[in-house]
Amino acid sequence: MPHPRRLIWFCQTEHVAKQPEQLALLRDEIGLTTIMPESPICHTSGFRASPEVAARGPFEDWRERGEAWPKVSEGIYPPVSGVIGGFDDTDLCRVIEAASAAGIEVWGHIGLWSYGGDVYPEHALRTIDGASLDTRYSRWGIGLCPSREAINQWTKDGLVDIAQRYDVDGFCVDHARYPQPASVSALAACGCASCVEEGTTLGFDVAILHQALRDTVRRVRDIKGSRLQQLARDRLSPEQLWAALEISPHVTEWFQMRSALLAKQMQHFREGVQQIDASMVFGCDIFAPSVSLFGGHDLALWETATDYITGGSSAGGVVGWATASTNAAFEWTRSLAEVTQGAEADWLELTLQVLGVDDLAIPRDIEALDQGRDLPIEELYDREIARLVADTNDRVPLYPPVSAGGDPERTRRLCRSIADHGGHGAMMTLAPDRKETLRAIQEGFGA
């Protein structure tokens, strides 16, 4: 059976509640099929947890954590796993009703693990050496440990509770990942006892994987600057480079284990909601394919754990696809140049090679990459879409992310990339009253 085509609007609950007529407009203008509403106040679609679920919530005391979460003063909830109690769901109910009247699906939205560790340090990711994540990388997220059984069970109960009480057609959960791989510190997490236990249950020899990471760090520190310069010039394939740097296959296995830990939870969540309604789809946004394995998303495995693949945004920020590799490249380069004898320029070249984007016109300039300046966004994005299709097995539909709010020509090209590579639609952010955006989407998908 061919995969369903979908255009999904990643929208604000409060916005759509005020202008519900935009749903029919988008349905008619661009073929909108689905919305994924999120409230920027509570970071879910705006669900009100039932009193029984809220009573067991591990994050209900967030209002007393103003020191770690200053947005308490604005009434903004911390981004944590599950559904916190007490939110007024009037706007969401209005949105669900309007979507139903317009024949548009609603995907519910809740958060999981990649943030919140700074507000709840007792549940935060730990490195394999037991340390907290380095706050130098906090812009990429200070995450929660994904293996706390009590939190995961409570999160699942919250999803089941929502599936029973709200008329949603599925879920697109957020933060189902580790922090962006640009966080060098987060790459070596989580090493806590719960994650060791879970990894062992999944069949991994976790002690060997931890040791492989430590050995790799030691070996990389010892590489001579001249050797590195030569490697940067040789332009090897990522696999050859991995071998030349003598990086153990156990390092790859470490990242596969991290993915497997998340995928197992995703399967549990999916089972829970589909026991309520077998027609509900369940999935999440993933990191761009160039870095996805490093962030907890082994794509082939993810296809077995979720019902579709999508992403957060097309460029910029923590989840932007076009900028995922360049963000990782500059942070990795800075960190490597700091602790090794190699020159920054050589490390930058090598990291771009490892990420498979060294042939693109990317500025060899750390500051420019840090600020996202002068990047070939459309080419980087197209590379990610090509890789998404190549690295998956056509088991689930692919809805890559398109941030359609800016330059219409860029929007048209991003949509064209998806259409050209055989994607099945998109997850879009857009302003419905901008006619030029809607036209660009129509043209890009050739509809």
User: Whole-number minimum distance, CB 192 to Zn ion, in Å?
Assistant: 3
User: Whole-number minimum distance, CB 358 to Zn ion, in Å?
Assistant: 34
Q: Between 143 and 172, how does the x/- string for binding to Zn ion read (CB under 5 A)?
A: --x-x-------------------------
Which one-letter DSSP state was computed for residue 128?
Answer: T
C-alpha dihedral (50, 53, 55, 61), degrees to nearest 10: -100
User: Whole-number minimum distance, CB 188 to Zn ion, in Å?
Assistant: 12
DSSP string computed for 2-37: PPPPEEEEEEEHHHHHH-THHHHHHHHHH---EEEE
Q: How far apart are CA 378 and CA 67, in angstroms?
A: 41
For Zn ion, the closer of residues 87 and 254 by Cβ is 254
For Zn ion, the closer of residues 128 and 195 by Cβ is 195
Among 192, 223, 366, 369, binds Zn ion (CB under 5 A): 192
- Cβ atoms of 325 and 188 within 8 Å: the answer is no
User: Whole-number minimum distance, CB 152 to Zn ion, in Å?
Assistant: 11
Q: Which amino acid is at 441?
A: I
Among 8, 172, 190, 426, binds Zn ion (CB under 5 A): 190
User: Whole-number minimum distance, CB 127 to Zn ion, in Å?
Assistant: 10
Where does residue 7 fall: left (phi above 0), alpha (psi -120 to 50 degrees), or beta otherwise? Answer: beta
For Zn ion, the closer of residues 105 and 198 by Cβ is 198
For Zn ion, the closer of residues 122 and 367 by Cβ is 122
Q: How far apart are CA 184 and CA 334, in angstroms?
A: 10
Say whether residue 195 binds Zn ion (CB under 5 A). Answer: yes
Helix (H) or strand (E) holding 160, with range, is: helix 149-165
For Zn ion, the closer of residues 192 and 396 by Cβ is 192
User: Whole-number minimum distance, CB 296 to Zn ion, in Å?
Assistant: 12
DSSP string computed for 429-443: E--TT-HHHHHHHHH
Piece of 138-146, 216-224, 317-325, 343-351 that binds Zn ion (CB under 5 A): 138-146
Binding site for Zn ion (CB under 5 A): 145, 147, 190, 192, 194-195
